[in-house]
Structure 1
Amino acid sequence: MSGTGGAAARQKAAAPRRGRDRRAQVIPAPPGRQRFETSAAPSAAIVGGGIAGLAAATALAERGVRVTLYEREQGLGGRLAGWPVELPDGSTATMSRGFHAFFRQYYNLRGLLRRADPSLGSLTGLPDYPLRHSNGMHDSFARVPRTPPWSALGFVALSPAFGWRDLVRMDPVAALPLLDVRVPQVYERFDTVSARDFLSRIRFPEAAHHLAFEVFSRSFFADPAQLSAAELVLMFHIYFLGSSEGLLFDVPDEPYPQALWEPLGRYLAGHGVDFRTGTAVDEAGPDGDGGVRVTAGGRTRRHDALVLALDTAGLRRLVAASPRLCDRAWRERIAALRTAPPFLVSRLWLDRPVLADRAGFLGTSGFGPLDNVSVLERWEGEAARWSARSGGSVVELHAYAYDDGGDRRAAADRLVQRLHEVYPETADAKVVHRHDEWRDDCPLFPVGGFTARPTVHTPDPAVTMAGDFVRTDLPVALMERAATTGFLAANRLLTGWGVRGQTLWTVPPTGRSAPLRALARLGAH
């Protein structure tokens, strides 16, 4: 294959693919020539090797930009990175910051992963998304229809936590905005309300509140009382009434580095990306001729552009050390960004298996700090191999927005005690090895915080931003927001250079049903 046909095939392979939803929205790539073909291509520095930074690096490097990617840690993946830990039997396992669901609405993230894995063979689907409350109630999404509005109606019909009487008791006027979510208008209407207060306002059933919507708020590592209701309403749109992809999801069949980031790293290295892992950027600023200067590892280098794709804390540190970067007002906005409360991931290697019918992933509510339980050998090859050798199980526990009270060991012990309530057979198991991972670097989306969030654009046209906390007018969240803003940051730079950018996809930006949209508009008045 050669000539125009080869270029067209490469461009097609590089485009994200939508899933089963025929109404998914395409965001056309900014126009321009296909790529830089000469050695005079510009250079770009990317600070941060997580999803956002990797997406930006991909879009730029595929079009011939000379990319240098700086990452403070030794490996790629950011908050989805992994690292080795030694087990008592002398074997090595890969630890991470915990479970992440790769929903099928994550078109741009999945498009990024297709670069190294065109068929997404490294992802495997879990058969259900079960939820369990301590009062004995269970919810499941396995049989819930995926196409709106039948998805929401099916959930109501099948959920023991949400009966038709509860539907009648809800405040229909207050609930109408759920029928037609629009971005950014959803922030204009609901950013000043907490997720907890919004659910109370519409008289959402308490049991369903805990079983379903608390799952969404906890995805942001935040207490519902601290989370902007706009994010909760947007999540309802993405998963229930805005998309027909449903609430089932995929997970990597090996640890994150092996399944995702090492293959993608090799792909990007083949496109000339210069990876500087284990290298923190100390300072950045303008160089006086339209470019930027980046100091890392004791060396300062000039680049034509800079993409800031750090986590919130890392961004604050770099901006505080870079007094000439962008302008003062922008730097003050960055300094005011907040992080979510600490969270805990405890992974247990047990000497005996959990019961065979235990789900690979279980969301929990009412069990104190315990938010979910994963049985890793159900899908992850590394854990399955250890389980086969030892006869045990690898179980992971999550506690989001966890007030540890100062004694973190005791807090982690309490989490294990809650596991014994959820899966009683684990109470008799010996813990062969346990690793407790505490982190507090996830962004907080506080009530009233939307207008102060940074955008992809900055006051300096040579500097762009990307990340899951970066403001965008597209209906995306969490990992998909990170990937999408990474591509948008690259597109911003490519447009300035006259090069065609990356085509994107999102769930429909408005409600799917014209009658429901009309009803929602009546409620707005």
Structure 2
Amino acid sequence: MPAPGAPRFRRGDEPSVAVVGGGIAGLAAATLLAERGARVTLYEKDDALGGRLSGHRTVLADGSPVTMTRGFHAFFRQYYNLRGLLRRTDPALARLVPLPDYPLRHSGGLTDSFARVPRTPPLSALGFVALSPTFGWRDLAAMDPLAALPLLDVRVPEVYERFDGVGATAFLESVRFPEAAHHLAFEVFSRSFFADPRRLSAAELLLMFHIYFLGSSEGLLFDVPAEPFPQALWEPLAAYVESLGADIRPGTPVHRIAPRDGGGAHVHTATGAHRHDAVVLALDTEGLRHTVAASPGLGTAPWRDGIAALRTAPPFLVSRLWLDRPVRADRPGFLGTSGYDGLDNISVLERYEGEAARWAARTGGSVVELHAYAVDPGAEHKEVQERLIDRLHRVYPETRDARVVDSRHEWRSDCPLFEAGTYPLRPAVRTPHPWLALAGDAIRCDLPVALMERAATTGFLAANALLADRGVRGQVLWTVPRRGRSRALRALAAARRA
């Protein structure tokens, strides 16, 4: 039966809604609200949309115009709501291209692959054990089966209640998880949060295991945009939202939010105070903390304290190198790495991105990207950059003789830190004000979603909350199951809980 509520606002009853933040969460909220007829104004402090997936044009030393972005991001097939957002302008998702594998290489010489791992639970987890050179049956037998049972039936939000107070590394040690597989398979999950696994909440680690192994049939293979983020994703989506009547204002930071008597707020920017009936704050961690601190009329003391307690993950580096000769033809588009002194992955962009492929074809070179997550905040930037390039030479020796035509190094520190024990402090989508909602990957969401999918899902949830309060139908959201899919494995885990 259809969802309750009117399909859209009646003419003359359309509320004015401010969406503050033009990343994935803000774009999801703005899209749904505009589709339902709300008068949406999207405020974005930067000149480009996309948040941590934005990009800007630059010109290389050889005169080539290119787009520099924050680097490689995997669009996993379990990102149902993010993909639904992108389908607004790309119904077939033709602007995403699949990568054939997710290889992971350790400095000790071992390499894992997910290309041949079965995708149907529980065969997905068992298949990884059977095919992995870093995780054999002997390792499986050495594990503590009772301590490992929670992996078999992850439930949200119960997983946070049970394991948020434990660090990811401590949990793996408690189940006697083999060290080599720890470095490869599970460190990848930890690093996806831009965090040191010793500080990351074990609940987030277990959730990722559920999403990719035992809660879905899509596995760990993924797609990537066929062109830089602005051209492939955000410029088409912005045009679509504007066609619905939304007003998108890039380069417009919001200084504070002042509640109005009777509901709604004044959104203060450099051009003055703008009156809105409702507001969605879809900001990164530091942006949310700053905006709430500058808006003394918002929320209650406990709510404000929770937001003030949010922290960002350590800095990360994206180094992109335009080389005058190609890397070997058999190098994958993406390679996860471990044990290389901070080098977390290597991408060869011309394998999948059109702009890079055109530059490589014209020059005979390669476009290579290096990532380093959770960098020591006190580290000297130039030293880290040089070390990553040295490790690239170790992993791909043919790059030693390549001349760097040009390079760009992007340092950022704006990802949320999901430290052990902090889940109860995370703010939820709904707030003490019925006219105010929060969205973003730092926002608490009692659904099995993470990373970019959490951003998109909370964006839609924020819009749904504002719509429901006004009698308008929201959007149905999809996730992997909220508990393990295998009845037998659930029974084992339940016996352990009992």
Partner of 1:18: none
TM-score scaled to structure 2, two decimals? Answer: 0.99
Partner of 2:18: 45
Q: Is the 8 A contact 2:314 2:377 kept in 1?
A: no
Determine the C-alpha separation between the residues in 1 that align with 2:328 and 2:377: 30
Does 2:73 match 1:73? no
Partner of 2:79: 106
Give CA deviations for 1:446-469 in whole Å, capped at 9, x if unaligned: 010000000001000100000001
Give CA deviations for 1:240-289 in whole Å, capped at 9, x if unaligned: 01100111000000000000000000000000110010000011021112
Does 2:464 match 1:488? no
Give CA deviations for 1:135-185 in whole Å, capped at 9, x if unaligned: 110100000000001001110000000010000000000000111110000
Q: Is the 8 A contact 1:194 1:447 kept in 2?
A: yes
Determine the C-alpha separation between the residues in 1 that align with 2:274 and 2:74: 38
Does 2:247 match 1:274? yes
* Residue number among 185, 210, 218 corresponding to 2:183 in the alignment: 210
Instruction: Classify the secondary structure of the residue corresponding to 1:281.
Output: coil
CA RMSD between the two structures = 1.0
Partner of 1:171: 144
Partner of 1:457: 430
Instruction: Classify the secondary structure of the residue corresponding to 2:241.
Output: helix
TM-score scaled to structure 1, two decimals? Answer: 0.94
Give CA deviations for 1:453-502 in whole Å, capped at 9, x if unaligned: 00001000100000001101110000000000000000000001000001
Structure 2 counterparts to residues 169-318 of structure 1, below 5 A? 169-318=142-291
Partner of 2:470: 497
Give CA deviations for 1:290-310 in whole Å, capped at 9, x if unaligned: 111101123101111000000
Q: Is the 8 A contact 1:29 1:501 kept in 2?
A: no
Change (3 A) 1:397 1:421: same
Instruction: Classify the secondary structure of the residue corresponding to 2:478.
Output: strand
Instruction: Classify the secondary structure of the residue corresponding to 1:456.
Output: coil
Partner of 2:385: 412
Structure 2 counterparts to residues 375-390 of structure 1, below 5 A? 375-390=348-363
**Greater displacement, 48-57 / 398-407:** 398-407
Does 2:20 match 1:59? no
**What letter is aligned with 1:159?**
S
Q: CA deviation at 1:329?
A: 2.1
Change (3 A) 1:144 1:498: same
Determine the C-alpha separation between the residues in 1 that align with 2:11 and 2:329: 58
Partner of 1:438: 411
Change (3 A) 1:425 1:232: same
Q: CA deviation at 1:30?
A: 5.4
Partner of 1:92: 65
Q: Is the 8 A contact 1:462 1:493 kept in 2?
A: yes
Identity %: 70
Determine the C-alpha separation between the residues in 2 that align with 1:63 and 1:407: 49
**Greater displacement, 223-232 / 395-404:** 395-404
Q: Is the 8 A contact 2:40 2:247 kept in 1?
A: yes
Does 2:4 match 1:31? yes
Determine the C-alpha separation between the residues in 2 that align with 1:31 and 1:404: 50
Partner of 1:516: 489
Instruction: Classify the secondary structure of the residue corresponding to 1:98.
Output: coil
Q: Is the 8 A contact 2:194 2:313 kept in 1?
A: yes
Q: CA deviation at 1:29?
A: 8.2
Could you tell me which runs of 5 or more consecutive residues in structure 1 were left unpaired when the two chains were aligned: 1-27
Partner of 2:101: 128
* Residue number among 320, 323, 331 corresponding to 1:358 in the alignment: 331
Could you tell me which runs of 5 or more consecutive residues in structure 2 were left unpaired when the two chains were aligned: none
Q: CA deviation at 1:327?
A: 2.2
Regions of 4+ moved over 6 Å = none
Aligned length in residues = 498
Determine the C-alpha separation between the residues in 2 that align with 1:325 and 1:273: 25
Partner of 2:135: 162
Q: CA deviation at 1:336?
A: 1.1
Q: Is the 8 A contact 1:221 1:400 kept in 2?
A: yes
Instruction: Classify the secondary structure of the residue corresponding to 1:344.
Output: strand
Instruction: Classify the secondary structure of the residue corresponding to 2:332.
Output: coil
Q: CA deviation at 1:84?
A: 1.0
Q: CA deviation at 1:40?
A: 2.8
